[in-house]
Structure 1
Amino acid sequence: MVQSKNLFNNNWSFNNFYFEADFPLVELNFERKTIKLTTDIKIAIDNALNSERPFKELIKVFNTFGYLLSLKIILGQKLRRSCILQKELDLVDQQLEFEENYSSELDKLFILWKDQYGFDEEYLMSINGKVVRKNDIEKWLNEHLKQDLKLLRIIGQSELVPLYELFEEPVRGNIKSILGIDNLPKILMTGVVQMIKNVEYYNVDFPSHLESSNYHIFAKVTRSNKSSFDVIDKAVVKIRSSNRTGFLAIIEKFDEMNDLNAEHLQIMWVLIGFPDEINFYSPHTRELSILSIETQDVDIDKSSVLISAPEKLPEES
């Protein structure tokens, strides 16, 4: 492949030239259902999912075991060469196939490219990084294209499958959710703050520092005792001063709750964001789903607002 690119001025043009000759000998094909995961990777994934910072832990696992698995692998040998040519050329991409007489066909190709592109390199590089001079290519081919498994190298891969796709549900779904494959926000954390009589400001600290403050907090005042639980709609919780360590919850219309016993009142809150950005995802909230996130204009002069529920909600939602 030749790519023309002027690096200095109009009088000089330097072009990146890459040559590769593949010599495939064996093609391996795998069926996904026959691939078995090792105990080590199962344990590593399980530990990552049980972490409160599962995104980074999953990345560590994939850095160790790999991100993709190839269902088709080509084994053989390869010769290649990259260089810079001083010649004005357009973008050229040539792919040629030779079924026999590799050495003589390559010689013809080198002569052609020398005339057309100025390619006159004296050697190529093997996949192991060894120098193979053009005059020794035939000898090198005779030595390395034998049916000897020790000489085979991976020269091509295709039909790539993400490693997480090999896991069964619900593990696969949990991995995809944490990695943000669906690109949807998640309920990353929840909390309950016990209210105190005559106190309307509550400073809430997260159990762990977050890596981003790009999240949303939703909170309500609730009342619970041994026999009942309900939401106090007349109390409004405003969230202020949110950062990576916590937030400030302010109770508005505080005076309207004077008749309520503070011992039975709590502030329940949820934090919504993306696991890969926040780098925190409580194991206790991963079964919770956000059914819908929408915006709606509200007329502040009206005492009530009608909000349409999303269609096709899951049962028991």
Structure 2
Amino acid sequence: MSNDQQIIHQLKLNHGLLFDGYKIQPSKQAIFMKDGELNIKLYNGQPIIYNNINDSISSENFFMDKDNLNNTIDVCINFPIAEIIYRGDLLESFSKCTDDENLYKLYGHFFARNILIGSKLFIKNLNLATQAQIDVLKFYLFCTYNSAKHSIEIPVNNFFTLNLLPKIVTLDGEELNTHKKLVKWMNNLYQEGEKSIFIISYDNFIPISQLKNNIVSSVDGFFNENHYEISNFKENISLEEWVRDAVNNNLVSWIRDFHLFQGLILDKDYEMEISKKIPITFTKIPKINPRNSSYLKIMKPSTKVENFLISNNIYSPYNLNSFPFIKDNSIKSNNGKNDENSTHVLINCEQYEILLNKDNIKPTQKLGYAIEEALNSMKPLKALQDIFNEYGQLFPQRIILGRSIKNILPTSIAPETIDIKTESLTLTPRLDKLNISYFLTPKGRIIENNDLPNWIQNPNNLEIIEFDEIEPFYKILKEEQQMKIDDLLKDNYRILMTGITDLRDLDNNEVEYHKRINIEPLLEDEDYEVYGSIVSKNNSRLEGIYVNFGSYDINGFFAMIKKLEETSINIKECRILWMIVEKPSKLLVFSPNNREFQVECIKESIILQSDKSNYYIKPSFSLSQGYTIFVHAYCPSTNYEPDNIIKLVKWSHNSIKFQVTKPFYNESNNNFSTDNEEDINLDLRICVLCSDYKNLKFDNKNEGGFSLDLTGYVLTKDNFNESLSTEINEVV
């Protein structure tokens, strides 16, 4: 069977048409022979839209549930791809049929000279959609059709998933609820390859009775054009007519042209730009409110920050100190009095207000992955800063589109807003009083005062004229990521890095050692504290050896190790456990391994006395069982790291009792002996891990971690003394 015969057979082009007042279907018997002439011509017109369909669609001809379609299909779109004309010889069985009653049952009522083939899409619940949803749907259909029909790439950002729009349904009942499905359906129809085609329109009807009597003339009236399966519609128009302004004047095109709902980037030069990165996908269409408001606005910035914001179309007052990740803190800190004695005079013509609720968006998968990777890095604040430098530090949730012109006066004028009535402009006296003869558009075009009426009444050339309801950009992220960033931004002490370092390169014959410990990544500052201890190769805490830390720099620090004279410890088999404590915002390094630990730091000075070994500290916060305490000592008067051994004796909820002793080997060089007339000031740097976690993880080794009681003193029931406060008062 030839291709032509296959088409004739598949579409029953040689059959008549039965019409029962509701639907059209091919006749039971053929009228023409199937070896006739088949003329196929590609369709060059636009798809046809049928609006306000009142009839439901026959479930016999669509593989759909008729009950589900009742009163839901508002629009049918015919996508013709070719026009077919079939000419052939009448079959003898048809010509010799004399039974008029059986004639119509067997051969139908009409024969259609012209047939359009292609496919259809149905739009459900369009009447329930907002205008914004309708415009977005039209835009996507128009772009997808033109891309497939003309084989051109039309860049369309899929800001809105199709399940946010009125439903698009195919002839066989499939719902095209993703962009991928819609593009595939359109490409299958218009581009090369196998196609699922249907008869979508009949035209030039000839009554069967005329064919039988060799009278060939088309029927006027209703049957001049009957669109398969569609009847009782209000109007039919082309796709281009139906779409109209929605191509260039809709939310998708505004998002594309103006980069709506993308981050605002502020730099140290007091300049602002809109990020080119797309940060979000929508879970609900933003609300669009048409506005017809024109006004003259006079604003006098009182600070440099206000002047910066007004110059960038941000008119509401904002405290930039509440916005982290702005590139240069000089913008936030430079909030002094505005040196320039200037006044901003604007004329704004508002046309659309676009509102976005944060609950109706979610970050793109790409942004979410980038944020997660940054949070899990050793320098999370720097990694996040790099992301927000690209995506923006601010995020506006309210945007006004319209037109705006401005003049900046070198004088101080009281703030004022004046509504403009387009039918009776009364600005001239006011502008003359302000000594204003012209305004400037954002692109620098001069609008003189006598041209203002025409400019105000001309609705063309939309632009962003105001950003409002601005949030820190990171507040659009998932709640879990927001909480992690909030935690990073707290100005609290934390465990920034931990490690374990072997001592195989030391000499057992020595008593005192200085071990250099280098770290990666590098720190941003040299001001931090290190706490730690010496452990054996079996990870047991050693009492016969002492370690302190000092000589800090951005690359690392030194561990000062001293052995007691009588110890037999093999130093080569020992290891140093250490942890660096400081504020993440200061050093920028913050390992993800131990972020669950909350840290409190105490700096307290004590005076060492020869007849006293116990000293008391009162922290400003309450202690609890399970907390762990670390102590590091420093002697500021002699600028050396003391070798005094400091141990926790007892604790209560508001007090700590330490024992400070000198190593046995150092008795001959006692820093606080009775012969020493001057008392020694000792600075205690105390770190408290406010958590009941038992272990710390290593950052420089893949060995897991170590127990806190190897390096610090865990607060337990055994070393708790409820009457410690009373004891302190008695000592004092």
| Inter-CA distance 236–109: structure 2 relative to 1 (3 Å threshold) | farther
| Inter-CA distance 138–234: structure 2 relative to 1 (3 Å threshold) | farther
Deviations 1:91-145 (A, max 9, x none): 43322230523872322210222xxxxx24x32112343321222111111213x
Query: Residue 544 of structure 2 contacts residue 567 of structure 2 at CA under 8 Å; is this kept in 1?
Result: no
TM-score w.r.t. length of structure 2: 0.36
- Which whole-Å CA distance do the structure 1 matches of 2:404 and 2:566 have between them? 78
Which amino acid in 2 is paired with 1:194?
Answer: D
| Inter-CA distance 70–234: structure 2 relative to 1 (3 Å threshold) | farther
- State whether structure 2 residue 388 is matched by structure 1 residue 67: no
**Which stretch of the first structure deviates more once superposed, 98-107 or 186-195?**
98-107
- State whether structure 2 residue 445 is matched by structure 1 residue 124: no
Which amino acid in 2 is paired with 1:168?
Answer: K
- Which whole-Å CA distance do the structure 1 matches of 2:468 and 2:597 have between them? 37
| Inter-CA distance 3–213: structure 2 relative to 1 (3 Å threshold) | closer
- State whether structure 2 residue 134 is matched by structure 1 residue 134: no
Aligned to 2:98: none
Aligned to 1:296: 604
Give runs of aligned pairs for residues 107-118 of structure 1, distance below 5 A: 107-113=428-434
- Which whole-Å CA distance do the structure 2 matches of 1:245 and 1:298 have between them? 31
- Which whole-Å CA distance do the structure 1 matches of 2:423 and 2:407 have between them? 17
Aligned to 2:496: 188
- State whether structure 2 residue 519 is matched by structure 1 residue 209: no
Tell me: higher relative CO, structure 1 or 2? Use CA pairs within 8 A at least 6 residues apart: 1
Q: Tell me by how many angstroms 1:262 deviates.
A: 3.3
- Which whole-Å CA distance do the structure 2 matches of 1:307 and 1:234 have between them? 26
Deviations 1:31-58 (A, max 9, x none): 2211211112112212322332222221
- Which whole-Å CA distance do the structure 2 matches of 1:176 and 1:315 have between them? 19
Deviations 1:260-281 (A, max 9, x none): 3435532211112233332322
Give runs of aligned pairs for residues 246-265 of structure 1, distance below 5 A: 246-252=556-562, 254-255=563-564, 258-262=567-571, 265=574
- Which whole-Å CA distance do the structure 2 matches of 1:103 and 1:267 have between them? 84
Give me the CA root mean square deviation: 3.0
From 23, 37, 41, the equivalent of 2:367 is 41
Which amino acid in 2 is paired with 1:171?
Answer: Q
Query: Residue 204 of structure 1 contacts residue 247 of structure 1 at CA under 8 Å; is this kept in 2?
Result: yes
- State whether structure 2 residue 54 is matched by structure 1 residue 54: no
Query: Residue 550 of structure 2 contacts residue 559 of structure 2 at CA under 8 Å; is this kept in 1?
Result: yes
- State whether structure 2 residue 594 is matched by structure 1 residue 273: no
Q: Tell me by how many angstroms 1:233 deviates.
A: 5.6
Gapped regions of structure 1 (runs ≥ 5): 5-13, 86-90, 114-118
- Which whole-Å CA distance do the structure 2 matches of 1:269 and 1:131 have between them? 67
From 692, 698, 710, the equivalent of 1:316 is 692
| Inter-CA distance 316–135: structure 2 relative to 1 (3 Å threshold) | same
- Which whole-Å CA distance do the structure 2 matches of 1:79 and 1:257 have between them? 86
User: Which is higher, the Rg of structure 1 or of structure 2?
Assistant: 2
Aligned to 1:165: 475
Say which SS state the counterpart of residue 27 (structure 1) adopts.
Answer: strand
Query: Residue 400 of structure 2 contacts residue 464 of structure 2 at CA under 8 Å; is this kept in 1?
Result: yes
Q: Tell me by how many angstroms 1:74 deviates.
A: 2.1
Query: Residue 77 of structure 1 contacts residue 127 of structure 1 at CA under 8 Å; is this kept in 2?
Result: no
| Inter-CA distance 190–140: structure 2 relative to 1 (3 Å threshold) | same
| Inter-CA distance 143–298: structure 2 relative to 1 (3 Å threshold) | same
- Which whole-Å CA distance do the structure 2 matches of 1:272 and 1:159 have between them? 38
Query: Residue 544 of structure 2 contacts residue 564 of structure 2 at CA under 8 Å; is this kept in 1?
Result: no
Query: Residue 189 of structure 1 contacts residue 272 of structure 1 at CA under 8 Å; is this kept in 2?
Result: yes
| Inter-CA distance 257–275: structure 2 relative to 1 (3 Å threshold) | farther
- State whether structure 2 residue 588 is matched by structure 1 residue 284: no
| Inter-CA distance 299–3: structure 2 relative to 1 (3 Å threshold) | closer
- State whether structure 2 residue 358 is matched by structure 1 residue 32: yes
Aligned to 1:143: 458
Query: Residue 22 of structure 1 contacts residue 76 of structure 1 at CA under 8 Å; is this kept in 2?
Result: yes
Identical aligned residues as a percent: 23
TM-score w.r.t. length of structure 1: 0.77
- State whether structure 2 residue 540 is matched by structure 1 residue 229: yes
Which amino acid in 2 is paired with 1:265?
Answer: C
Count matched residues. Answer: 285
**Which stretch of the first structure deviates more once superposed, 193-202 or 61-70?**
193-202
| Inter-CA distance 245–2: structure 2 relative to 1 (3 Å threshold) | closer
- State whether structure 2 residue 502 is matched by structure 1 residue 176: no
Which amino acid in 1 is paired with 2:485?
Answer: I
Which amino acid in 2 is paired with 1:50?
Answer: N
